[in-house]
Structure 1
Amino acid sequence: MVSERSTAEAAELLACAHEMADAAAAVILPYFRTADLGEDNKLAEGYDPVTEADRAAEQAMRAVLARLRPQDAILGEEYGTQAGDSGLTWVLDPIDGTRGFVSGTPTWGVLIGLMDGARVLLGMVDQPYTRERFWGGFGEARMRGPHGDRPLATSSTQRLDQAVLFTTFPEVGTATEGAAFAQVSQQVKLTRFGMDCYAYALLAIGTVDLVIEAGLNSYDIQGPLGVVEAAGGIVTDWKGGPALMGGRVIAAANPALHAAALAILSTIPEG
C-alpha cells in the first residue's frame, strides 16, 4: 500500500483522515444509546436505517475536506459524489453498521478510504465509543485504543480448519451466495456474525482470519480494505479480482488462507 506520493503529502493526507474521524466522532457520540436518533428507513420494504448521526457525521467530514482538501473528490453514502481535480477521491461511510448503532452495540464504525481511481491508498476504521482507531496506508498499519498505540499485523493461520470466520448477516446475500458461504463455514474452526466493519479491524489485529460478505458498496469496503491490506492481509472479490467497488468480498489474513477459501467461493456464478 506504499504509494509514490511524497512523505510530506502522505503525512498531510493521513492527518486529514484523522481530523475527519475526530470530527465525525464528536457529532456521533451524543446520539449513541439515546432515544433521539432521528431515525428513518431507506427501504419501502425491509429495514435499512439512517439516523441524524449518519447525516451529521458525513457533513462534519465534508466540512474538514472543504477546509483542508478542497481539490479532492468525495463519494459519501449519505450525500453522494462531489467532483474534484486532484485525482484523489475520499470515500466516506459515516456510520457503517447503522443497525448495530440503533441497537446500541459498539460494532459500528466511521469508515474513511482514499483512492486514486485504481487502488486504495489509505484506509481508516474508527470506533469512537470504544476509542479504537485502525488505519493503514503509505507504508504503515497501526491502531490506537485502550492498550495504546501499536502496529497492526494479520494472523499466520494457514488452514481453514483453524480459521475464525466473520460475516455481518447470516444469509450473506442471495441464496446462492449464502450456500457458498456455508461451504466455507463448514470447514472453519469458528464462524461468527453481525460485526459489520469491526470484523475487518479484528482481522487487521490478528484475532480473526477471514471475513466474507456479499452485496457491499464501495463505501462499505474501501476503508477496511486499506487497513487490512496494510496489515498484511488480502482483500479481493470472490473471483480473486479487485474489490474496491464492493460486491462480493473476501478478506483473508494471508495468501494461503485466501487461496483455500477462494477455491470454494470462485465456483459460484456471477449475478
Structure 2
Amino acid sequence: MFSVLGSDSVAHMAEEVEDAGSVVPRAMVWSFFLNIPFTLGMVISYLFCITSLEDALSDPTYYPFIYVFRQATGSKGGTTGMTIVILLLIIMITISAMASTSRQTFAFARDNGLPFSSWLGSVHRTLHVPLNSIIFTMLFTCVISLINIGSTAAFNALLSRSTVALMATYLVSITCVLIRRVKNQYLPPARWSLGKWGLPVNVIALLYACWAFFWSFWPISNDMVADGSNFNWACLLFVGLMGIGSVLYYTHARKVYDGPVAIVKDRDRLY
C-alpha cells in the first residue's frame, strides 16, 4: 500500500504551481499511470527473487532488499549498483515528501491550526518559500527517525499510522464528493474533470481506502511474542492522536482556527 502512495503530493504544492487547476490533476494522474506498472513489475520480480524469507530478514546488512539483490546478481558489483539506484530513488522521494509535508504544515499554520502558527506560517522575503516550515519538517523527521534505533516496532507503527491517516482523510473527502454525486447536488466547476468516469472512480477509490484502512491496523504476523515487538501499534497511536486532537480542537483550536482559504486572488482574476 505504501508503494502506491505519493501521487497526491503535488496537491500540497498547488499554490506554487502556475495554472494549478489544470496542471496539478494532470500531473497526479500521469505520475500514477506511468509509475504503477513499473512498481507492480518490480514488486513481482522482487518476490520471485526471494529465495529464503528467513535468510532475507536475518541478513547481516539488516536490509532484506540487499540480500535479494545479492542472490539475484551473484556479485558484489551488481548488488552495489542496484542498491545505489534504490538510494537515489529514496533521496528523490524524500525531497518530494519533505516539500509537500512542509507546505501542508505551512497551510495549517497559516490558518492558525498549529502551535507557533505565526512562525511556521511565515514566508521568507527573498526565497519566497515557507522556510521555517521546511526547517521544522526536516528537524522533526530526523528526530522521529531516531526511534528506529531504540525500537523497530515503534518505528513501523509510525509508518503504519501514516498510511492509516492518509486513508482516513481519503475516506472523508471521497465520501463527501460521492454523496453529492449520488444525490446530484452541486459540485464546484473544475478546470479538469474525469467526466462520466468520476462516479465509478470515486466508488473504487472509496472501496480501496476502506480496505487499506482496515488492514493497516493488523500486525505482520499472527504469532504474537510476549514483548509485543511484532505487534502493530498503529491502532493505539491513531486512536490516541485522534483523542488528543479532538480535545485540543474543542478546548482551543476551534476558537482560533480560520479554516481553508475560500477566495484566492491571482494576477488576473478572482476564483
For the aligned pair, the TM-score class normalised by the smaller chain equals: under 0.3
Structure showing greater radius of gyration is: 2
TM (norm. structure 2) is: 0.28
Q: Greater helix share, 1 or 2? A: 2
Scaled by the length of structure 1, what TM-score is found? 0.28
